[in-house]
Structure 1
Amino acid sequence: MGVLLGGALTEGPGWQWAFYINLPVGLLLLVALPALVPARAPQAARLDVPGALLVTGGTAALIYGLVKAGDAGWADASTLLPLAGAVVAYTAFAAVERASRAPLMDLRILTRRPVVAGVFLMLIATALLIACFFLGSVYLQHIRSYSPLKTGLVFLPVAVATGVGAHLGSRLVGRIGSRPMAVVSMAMAAAGIIPLTRLSETGSVYAGLLPGLVIASFGLGAVFVTATTTALAMVAHREAGLASGVVNTFHEVGGSIGVAVVSTVAASGFERGSVSGFNDAFTVCAVAAAGSAAVALALVPRGKPQATGIPHAH
């Protein structure tokens, strides 16, 4: 729904409404949560306010710096200062958590191999998927002169393929294991992106761009489920909530990294209206996907994750 609604809003009242639309949705959830979610507190817990502020501020600074990198360049002060601020905030957060009696986060979770594997898979999969959406959208609108709404319609099969890949991945990961699932799915993503490195300014979008995006998104959808399932089902039940939070944080960071990197690589193509920059950016994505498949072969633990009662959803 998002790609279609985003195209309709951009073509209609303006791209700013892609952000405004979140306000009534958020307010509706704020009202609905107390009525629908039971208020269960098995034990009293203190909120680690300094830790919460530091990790939230650090993550916000990191994402802002990465977004600015794609716009202003990696050497610009508007990029470097937020990134440096993120490093300072994360360093202070680690110190606060070690000293706190009731830390927001047990930093030892980052030494758990399943969590590290889940974080890696989520980071790369999100970076690749958002990068492909971003590049494909700009290519269609600036090179092929598609309207925002028509671009959203073109991306509907890609969105469906992501969901189908996630659904199939959720059924297979418990049968064949996390490692084979991660490697095969990431290799499929690389195979789908490779044809996109030869895009042209002419020819059929439905024969040139769309098949590769569908194959890549199908594989990445399966990677999303593999990432969350590995991180949650292969750690102790009491650590599953924290593992989920860590993995989903890197989901947000991954999207920012993906856009920052490919927009930097493809910048020349954006400026000249040339397709060469897009081909270079898709080449980076293909290499990253293939390399991640090799890393997953060594990093992702062996074994078949068992259900924990916690939904392995993204």
Structure 2
Amino acid sequence: MTTTVERPYGSIGAQAGGGVDSRRWLALAIIAVAQLMIVLDASIVNIAMPKAQADLHISVADRQWIVTAYTLAFGGLLLLGGRIADFIGRKRAFVGGLLGFATASAIGGLAPDASFLFAARALQGAFAAVLAPAALSLITVTFTETRERARAFGVYGAIAGGGAALGLILGGVLTEYTSWRWCLLVNVPIALLTAAAALPIVGESRAEGKARYDIPGTLTVTAGLVSLVYGFTKAAEDGWSSAVTLGFLAAAAALLVGFVIVEARSAAPLLPLRVIWERNRGASFLSSLLIGGGLFAMFLFLTFYFQVSLGYSALRTGFAFLPFSAGIIVSAGLASQLMPRTGPKVPMVAGTVLTVVGLFTLTQIGLDTSYVSHVLPGELLMSIGLGLIFVPMSSLALIGVEPHDAGVASALVNATQQVGGSLGTALLNTVFATAVTNYVIDHGASPQSTAQAQISGYTTAFVWGAVLILLALATIVVLVRAGKDEVPAQAGAVHAG
């Protein structure tokens, strides 16, 4: 493992004479805007998906690529992005990530067809994978005093938790009163202005030592995940037993096994296997992967239920999701208070149980059911449950980790959630499409039957989403052994999709 030493270049955390530069809080504001843009992008695009699908004539099987192209690139490249930021300079990576994100957003906003949109979303994810770890590292090196660093990460966490709610409303407003395209184009001025503000204010720092990047590991894991998602997509079109579907799934398995072999033999692995073998940390990463699958899919299918089945406007859809964001923020605060008393396992078990109950509650929706009686209870149960999970999950990832592995371990929580979201969305979209097809075959293709088939697809997907969360619950119950005295003092930022 390469030993790295921090070398600041004009760092604004402290001046040469020993005084503290007040611009560090302005730098935090700039970094927070970039983080807000990344968080906003996910929720804004979710609200815009039905309009984008209709406008670009995207099939039901392929619509999940609007989500998975981004999350696959983001999650698959996040660890590499962190290493790039460390070695080329965090400020340079931060500014470059912003400019790249702006370019990708412009391509997506102007996309003439589905392929351009999918490519733009993947490019957004790739630049976000550089931008996000650069932002976190800049906070760490800018705020060197413990209490100030805690306050800075508190601001960062609040942006991560509350930004999604703002994105829901902004996405609704832009889609309703302008076009779904502005849900992507809005990133362009934000990113460019933030990059311009960062140049004179944010200080530079990087890690010394030879820059070594695990390109073989990056290629094998990315190709394996893309092949897996594509296999799920082909299953929706051709069936699970088709040669094409089985071919992609077999290729995915071979590539992912190859990734493990590459990491075991690499001198500078993208993912040091020692980080995931410890049972508590392994439980954190595996449960994050499974919960990400259920969470991202829930957003996808509820969005289409609101707008397609119930006829909600995009703006009304945004407001319909607000209780979900509020519940996560409140319960995450509760989890932070509980952990020192109970350890991580108790809130995580309680949270997964509430999330499963919430998903099963959503299986009762119909064409004539009320939002207040059938959707809101499920949303609140899920949001409270997820808030109880996310905080201890982030802490669990850092239990017993060596200092030089702490960055990888922390980033893995976000990376696994993004990858899990990719795989879960693709898999459950196939489950949805299969359920819809089977319902129409059994009941005919009348308008009423077709509408009811959509409901059958949603509820079937929610059941399988609950199965993913149940697997996460089993993982936590069996593997988590950490007590309250083993939990690190500072948890990572809360991620809500």
Shift, 1:133, TM fit: 1.6
Q: Secondary structure at the match of 1:266?
A: helix
Closer, same or farther: CA 240–80 of 1 in aligned 2, 3 Å: farther
Shift, 1:284, TM fit: 2.6
1:311 is aligned to 492
Aligned with residue 481 of structure 2, among 283, 291, 301: 301
1:263 is aligned to 429
2:259 is aligned to 93
Question: In 1, distance between residues paired with 2:244 and 2:181?
Answer: 22
Structure 2 residue 295 is matched with structure 1 residue 114: no
> CA contact under 8 A between 2:296 and 2:424: conserved in structure 1?
yes
Structure 2 residue 343 is matched with structure 1 residue 172: no
Question: In 2, distance between residues paired with 1:174 and 1:66?
Answer: 41
Q: Secondary structure at the match of 1:201?
A: coil
Closer, same or farther: CA 277–96 of 1 in aligned 2, 3 Å: closer
TM value normalised by structure 1: 0.84
Closer, same or farther: CA 125–96 of 1 in aligned 2, 3 Å: closer
Question: In 2, distance between residues paired with 1:26 and 1:90?
Answer: 34
Shift, 1:296, TM fit: 1.7
Q: Secondary structure at the match of 2:315?
A: helix
Deviates more, 1:135-144 or 1:10-19: 10-19
TM value normalised by structure 2: 0.56
1:250 is aligned to 416
> CA contact under 8 A between 2:395 and 2:490: conserved in structure 1?
no
Structure 2 residue 417 is matched with structure 1 residue 241: no
> CA contact under 8 A between 2:359 and 2:465: conserved in structure 1?
yes
Closer, same or farther: CA 173–133 of 1 in aligned 2, 3 Å: same
Structure 2 residue 456 is matched with structure 1 residue 276: yes
Higher relative contact order (CA 8 A, sep 6+): 1
2:45 is aligned to none
Shift, 1:38, TM fit: 3.9
Q: Secondary structure at the match of 1:232?
A: coil
2:73 is aligned to none
2:394 is aligned to 228
Question: In 1, distance between residues paired with 2:371 and 2:479?
Answer: 37
Question: In 2, distance between residues paired with 1:168 and 1:125?
Answer: 19
Deviates more, 1:218-227 or 1:268-277: 268-277
Closer, same or farther: CA 166–202 of 1 in aligned 2, 3 Å: same
Question: In 2, distance between residues paired with 1:221 and 1:245?
Answer: 18
Deviates more, 1:39-48 or 1:71-80: 71-80
Aligned with residue 212 of structure 2, among 19, 40, 46: 46
Shift, 1:55, TM fit: 3.3
Question: In 2, distance between residues paired with 1:182 and 1:98?
Answer: 31
Structure 2 residue 102 is matched with structure 1 residue 102: no
Shift, 1:182, TM fit: 1.2
Question: In 2, distance between residues paired with 1:132 and 1:299?
Answer: 26
Structure 2 residue 183 is matched with structure 1 residue 2: no
Structure 2: which 5+ residue stretches go unaligned? 1-165, 441-449
1:289 is aligned to 469
C-alpha distance after superposition, 1:173-217 (max 9, x if no partner): 232111111111111112222322211221321222112111112
> CA contact under 8 A between 2:391 and 2:491: conserved in structure 1?
no
Q: Secondary structure at the match of 1:273?
A: helix
Closer, same or farther: CA 128–93 of 1 in aligned 2, 3 Å: closer
Deviates more, 1:71-80 or 1:47-56: 71-80
The AA in structure 1 aligned to 2:282 is V
Shift, 1:97, TM fit: 3.1
Question: In 2, distance between residues paired with 1:240 and 1:287?
Answer: 31
Q: Secondary structure at the match of 1:209?
A: helix
Closer, same or farther: CA 291–82 of 1 in aligned 2, 3 Å: closer
Structure 2 residue 305 is matched with structure 1 residue 127: no
Task: Figure out how many residues of one structure are paired with residues of the other and give that number.
Answer: 314
> CA contact under 8 A between 1:232 and 1:243: conserved in structure 2?
yes
Shift, 1:120, TM fit: 1.9
Q: Secondary structure at the match of 2:397?
A: helix
C-alpha distance after superposition, 1:66-125 (max 9, x if no partner): 566567755567755554444344334333333333333322323121221111221222
C-alpha distance after superposition, 1:250-272 (max 9, x if no partner): 11121123323332333344972
Closer, same or farther: CA 75–20 of 1 in aligned 2, 3 Å: farther
Closer, same or farther: CA 273–192 of 1 in aligned 2, 3 Å: same
> CA contact under 8 A between 1:66 and 1:256: conserved in structure 2?
no
> CA contact under 8 A between 2:352 and 2:469: conserved in structure 1?
yes
Bigger radius of gyration = 2
Closer, same or farther: CA 150–309 of 1 in aligned 2, 3 Å: closer
> CA contact under 8 A between 1:168 and 1:222: conserved in structure 2?
yes
Closer, same or farther: CA 310–152 of 1 in aligned 2, 3 Å: closer
Q: Secondary structure at the match of 1:203?
A: coil
Closer, same or farther: CA 204–180 of 1 in aligned 2, 3 Å: same
Closer, same or farther: CA 220–68 of 1 in aligned 2, 3 Å: farther
Question: In 1, distance between residues paired with 2:172 and 2:251?
Answer: 34
